[in-house]
């Protein structure tokens, strides 16, 4: 019984070698490589597995070895073709000759018969259109190999039928047939999974393109249609000067909306930074507040700013402003009945951490997962462009975004940027001067500041 378990361990080790090399080969299939390179990889994987299987084999008599060499031989021949089968056959008999001439000719006869059967079966395997037909070809060859091995050893090895070796021999035959079938099925499933994954990637790309195209056409068509209508009205000779100025003003506003949409899409499509400079976050945040404070006042949102000492990041000023404005506006609009918005800056473990936390409606886990994807928005009339731009700009600045949200309690955006030492760069430029914002004021200190909107 101890010998049976020892022999089983060797056979399982053989199967492990085969699995290892074919697993590595399948990893290369995922990459689009030349057909000749693909054949070479099959040959190397199969040949290496055969050599290792023959190196770790079970001796049942003088010059009589049993192992799983025929499993990689059969699988490699089917997937490599006739030329690879011939090369594998050459390796098989050459390496076997190195173990001595005892039993070599019997092994040569068996390998030759197996090679001939493979030679005539390979074309049927290559023309098979489904897994069932391929498995039938493999089953025939695997059964023939096991049958010949069993017949030969029972005729020429007198002690193969004794109690000690019979069980190991039966296990060997079953493992050889099962090994060939399982590895062929494993390879076919892996190839199908790779093909399916490629189709899914193509489908996702097409879906993203269609969503973006639909979003662009919808968001740009509306202001252009409105502009066209007002321009037609301008042709009326009975219009007063005041009405003409009103129509022109509205037309210009609609064109600005269309231009803003296009700018957002361009920022999302090409998030790379062109003019990188040193940005001091406290000053840049003050600049952004000039734009978002009126919206906060209109929505009765209290803004609490918690600053820190001077901290710097590398980025493009205009795009960074656009990123913060979109993020803060989304947070304010998530509080339609008023609330509190907390913006906090700090430096932790070499990272610049900016948190934007609101007390708004919150999001589900599914909504959080879809943030930053084309044409997804939690707002009824939203396009998702603002969040897409935020994610693109943060990524371009080598940062990352973490989102934590609970329905009815609010959302917290945490943005992490790599810290930059301003003394190592000569590109630092002074931030724009910040003017006072009625009815609030900005103080240059590190204490928390509160921006309170009137009721």
pLDDT tens profile 338-374 = 899 999 998 888 788 999 999 888 888 888 887 766 5
Distance of CA 121 to the CA centre of its chain: 39
1.25.40, 1.10.1760, 1.10.10, 1.20.144: CATH of 2-201: 1.10.1760
With H, G, I as helix, E, B as strand and everything else as coil, classify residue 301. strand
Q: Name the nearest CA neighbour of 336 among 362, 365, 305.
A: 362
CATH 1.10.1760 domain locations along the chain: 2-201
Question: What local confidence, expressed as pLDDT, does residue 169 receive?
Answer: 65
pLDDT of residue 313 exceeding 80: yes
Mean pLDDT of the region 18-24? 80
| Rounded CA separation 356/345 (Å) | 9
Q: Which residues contact 378 (CB under 8 A, 6 or more apart)?
A: 334, 361, 363, 367
Pairing of strands 301-306, 339-348: parallel
Pairing of strands 400-406, 312-315: unpaired
Tell me which of 380-384, 385-389, 401-405 is least confident: 380-384
Q: Exposed, middle or buried by CB within 10 Å (0-12, 13-18, 19+), for 265?
A: buried
Mean pLDDT of the region 403-421? 88
Distances 143 to 58, 150, 250, 365, 385 between C-alpha atoms, Å = 21, 10, 82, 53, 61
Q: Give the helix/strand (H/E) hosting 115.
A: helix 104-127
Tokens of 295: 């919206």
| Rounded CA separation 440/374 (Å) | 37
What average pLDDT is seen over the chain? 77
Q: How many CB atoms lie within 10 A of CB 158?
A: 9
CATH 3.30.565.10 domain locations along the chain: 277-451
Question: What local confidence, expressed as pLDDT, does residue 355 receive?
Answer: 92
Give 236-287 pLDDT, tens digit per residue.
Answer: 888 888 888 888 888 888 888 788 777 766 666 665 666 788 888 888 888 8
Give 132-182 pLDDT, tens digit per residue.
Answer: 888 888 888 888 777 776 666 666 555 555 545 566 667 677 777 888 888
Backbone φ and ψ of 383, nearest 5°: -110, -15
With H, G, I as helix, E, B as strand and everything else as coil, classify residue 125. helix
Tell me which of 209-223, 228-242, 269-283, 296-310 is least confident: 209-223
| Rounded CA separation 387/364 (Å) | 16
Q: Name the nearest CA neighbour of 354 among 290, 397, 316, 296.
A: 397
pLDDT of residue 449 exceeding 50: no
Highest mean pLDDT of the ranges 4-8, 36-40, 45-49, 198-202: 45-49
Give 56-79 pLDDT, tens digit per residue.
Answer: 877 766 656 777 888 888 888 888
Question: What local confidence, expressed as pLDDT, does residue 424 receive?
Answer: 58
pLDDT band for 3, please (50, 70, 90 cuts).
low
Sign of the Cα torsion 269, 273, 274, 275 reads: positive
Q: What is 277-451's CATH topology?
A: Heat Shock Protein 90 (3.30.565)
| Rounded CA separation 30/25 (Å) | 9
CB 329 within 8 A of CB 354: no
Tokens of 327: 């993020």
pLDDT band for 32, please (50, 70, 90 cuts).
low
């Amino acid at each position: 019984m101890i010998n049976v378990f020892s022999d089983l361990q060797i056979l399982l080790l053989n199967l492990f070698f085969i699995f290892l090399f074919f697993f590595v080969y399948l990893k290369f299939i995922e990459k689009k490589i030349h057909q000749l390179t693909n054949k070479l990889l099959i040959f190397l994987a199969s040949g290496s597995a055969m050599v290792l299987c023959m190196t770790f084999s079970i001796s049942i008599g003088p010059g009589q070895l049993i192992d799983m060499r025929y499993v990689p031989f059969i699988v490699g021949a089917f997937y490599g073709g006739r030329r690879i089968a011939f090369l594998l056959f050459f390796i098989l008999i050459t390496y076997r000759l190195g173990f001595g001439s005892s039993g070599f000719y019997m092994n040569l006869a068996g390998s030759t018969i197996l090679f001939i059967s493979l030679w005539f079966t390979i074309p049927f395997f290559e023309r098979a259109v489904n897994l069932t037909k391929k498995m039938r070809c493999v089953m025939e060859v695997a059964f023939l190999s096991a049958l010949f091995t069993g017949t030969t050893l029972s005729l020429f090895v007198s002690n193969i039928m004794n109690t000690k070796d019979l069980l190991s021999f039966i296990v060997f035959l079953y493992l050889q047939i099962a090994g060939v079938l399982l590895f062929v099925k494993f390879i076919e499933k892996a190839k199908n999974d790779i093909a399916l994954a490629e189709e899914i990637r193509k489908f996702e790309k097409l879906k993203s393109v269609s969503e973006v195209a639909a979003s662009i056409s919808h968001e740009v068509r509306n202001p252009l249609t409105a502009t066209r209508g007002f321009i037609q009205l301008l042709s009326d000779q009975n219009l007063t000067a005041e009405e003409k100025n009103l129509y022109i003003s509205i037309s210009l506003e609609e064109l600005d909306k269309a231009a803003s949409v296009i700018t957002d899409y361009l920022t999302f499509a090409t998030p790379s930074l062109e003019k990188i400079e040193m940005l001091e976050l406290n000053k840049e945040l003050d600049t952004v507040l000039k734009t978002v404070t009126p919206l906060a006042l209109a929505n009765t949102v209290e803004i609490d700013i918690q600053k820190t000492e001077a901290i710097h990041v590398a980025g493009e000023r205009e795009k960074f402003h656009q990123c913060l404005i979109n993020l803060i506006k989304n947070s304010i609009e998530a509080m339609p009945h008023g609330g509190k918005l907390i913006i906090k800056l700090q430096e932790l473990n070499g990272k610049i951490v900016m948190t934007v936390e609101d007390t708004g409606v919150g999001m589900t886990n599914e909504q959080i997962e879809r943030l930053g994807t084309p044409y997804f928005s939690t707002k009824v009339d939203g396009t998702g462009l603002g969040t897409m731009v935020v994610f693109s700009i943060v990524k371009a600045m080598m940062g990352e975004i973490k989102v934590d949200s609970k329905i009815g309690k609010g959302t917290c955006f945490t943005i992490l940027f790599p810290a930059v030492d301003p003394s190592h760069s000569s590109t630092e430029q002074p931030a724009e001067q910040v003017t006072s914002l009625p009815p609030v004021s900005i103080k240059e200190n590190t204490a928390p500041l509160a921006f309170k909107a009137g009721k």
